[in-house]
């Protein structure tokens, strides 16, 4: 895994006001965690972090923090990015959490899962579907791969790659459930011709019209029966009055 150097400074204070002031100067607030110890508060230049994320190796990269500032106890630290908080609309980085690591201790991270080659099933109209885009792994920091590739060139329609079929690099243990499907070649969608759809729709229409007609006829018969019974009811009432 690639290692990069990131210059940071210690900072005093925290809160929304401090963070807003830093962002107005194109700086980003950050913290470093290690075990249960108090987090070390830092600040860094936004452009420097952008270079690490986009020009270097992305979020799964070992970072050496070159720390300067007023805290004499703050020494350079080896870290990985734990979490990046972003503004939901513009995706602007708001805050960064780092985890301090030891190069001799394993850690758990998620790495991208990519496909290599073109499935045989694609020639028959099939489509490769990524069920998973990343896997959780455990390894030493220096063994973290940038990505794990899967050869899909021999997959036919209906064939799937399970997590247990994925070959991880030496020294890397895959923690994701091995029985889950990672990728699958789906069959082509069958489109029903418009003519058939129209015929099917038309075949149900007479049935609906017939049922509606029966209901209407029953209603009419009921009204006629009521009309016939009405004179008899009136005659009976007159007879009672007599």
Residues 197 and 170 in one domain: no
If asked whether residues 117 and 157 sit together in one domain, one would say yes
Q: How many CB atoms lie within 10 A of CB 18?
A: 15
Domain count, the chain: 3
Contacts of 142 (CB under 8 A, 6+ apart): 1, 62, 103
> What pLDDT score does 146 carry?
86
Longest dimension (CA), the chain: 118
Domain membership of residue 216 as a residue range = 193-242
Q: Are residues 93 and 42 in the same domain?
A: yes
Question: Does residue 14 have a pLDDT over 70?
Answer: yes
> Are 206 and 235 in a shared domain?
yes
Rounded to an integer, what distance in angstroms lies between the CA atom of residue 135 and that of residue 165? 13
The residue among 100, 130, 160 that closes a domain is 100
Strand pairing report for 107-116 and 148-151: parallel
Mean of the per-residue pLDDT values for the chain?
Answer: 82
Q: Does 228 lie in the same domain as 180? A: no
- What does the alpha-carbon distance between residue 49 and residue 96 come to, in Å, rounded to a whole number? 9
Q: Which of 186, 212, 230 is the last residue of a domain?
A: 186
In this structure, what token pair is assigned to residue 219? 């209603």
- Say whether both 172 and 128 belong to one domain: yes
* Residue whose C-alpha is closest to residue 94's, from 135, 62, 46, 34: 46
Asked whether residue 89 carries a pLDDT value surpassing 70, the answer given is: yes
Question: Does the structure show a pLDDT above 90 at 73?
Answer: no
Strands annotated E in the chain: 3-10, 27-33, 40-45, 62-68, 77-86, 93-100, 107-116, 127-130, 134-139, 148-151, 160-162, 173-174, 181-186
CB-based burial label for 49 (10 Å; 0-12, 13-18, 19+): buried
pLDDT confidence of residue 213: 58
What's the pLDDT score for residue 133? Answer: 96
State the CATH number of the domain containing residue 19.
Answer: 2.40.240.10
| Chain position carrying tokens 């790495």 | 111
**How long, in residues, is the chain?**
242
Which is nearest to 185 in space by CA: 102, 106, 123?
Answer: 123
Domain boundary among 68, 100, 132: 100
Hey, is 172 helix, strand or coil?
A: coil
Residue 142 CA to residue 198 CA, distance in Å, equals 63
Domain CATH for 144: 2.170.120.20
Which of 120, 116, 100 has the alpha carbon at shortest distance from 38? Answer: 100
pLDDT digits (tens, 9 = 90+) for 110-164: 999 999 999 999 999 999 999 999 999 999 998 999 899 999 999 999 999 999 9
Bridge partners (DSSP) listed for residue 67 = 8
pLDDT band at 98 (very low <50, low <70, confident <90, very high): very high
The arrangement of strands across the sheet holding 173-174 comes to 148-151, 107-116, 134-139, 173-174
Task: Measure the CA–CA gap between 28 and 86, rounded to whole angstroms.
Answer: 11
Q: What is the pLDDT of residue 181?
A: 97
């Amino acid at each position: 895994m690639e290692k990069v150097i990131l210059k940071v400074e210690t900072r005093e204070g925290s809160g929304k006001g401090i963070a807003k002031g830093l962002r107005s100067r194109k700086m980003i607030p950050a913290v470093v965690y290690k075990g249960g110890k108090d987090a070390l508060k830092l600040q860094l230049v936004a452009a420097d972090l952008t270079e690490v994320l986009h020009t270097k190796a992305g979020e799964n990269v070992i970072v050496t923090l070159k720390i300067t500032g007023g805290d004499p106890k703050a020494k350079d630290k080896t870290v990985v990015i734990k979490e990046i908080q972003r503004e939901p609309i513009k995706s602007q980085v708001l805050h960064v959490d780092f985890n301090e690591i030891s190069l001799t201790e394993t850690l758990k991270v998620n790495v991208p899962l990519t496909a290599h080659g073109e499935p045989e099933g694609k020639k028959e109209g099939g489509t490769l579907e990524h069920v998973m885009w990343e896997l959780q792994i455990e390894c030493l920091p220096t063994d973290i791969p940038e990505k794990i590739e899967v050869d899909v060139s021999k997959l036919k329609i209906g064939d799937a790659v399970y997590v247990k079929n994925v070959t991880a690099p030496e020294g890397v243990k895959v923690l994701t459930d091995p029985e889950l499907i990672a990728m699958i070649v789906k069959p082509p969608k069958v489109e029903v011709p418009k003519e058939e759809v129209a015929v099917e729709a038309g075949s149900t229409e007479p049935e609906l019209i017939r049922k509606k007609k029966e209901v209407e006829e029953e209603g009419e018969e009921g009204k006629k029966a009521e009309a016939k019974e009405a004179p008899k009811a009136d005659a009976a009432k007159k007879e009672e009055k007599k």
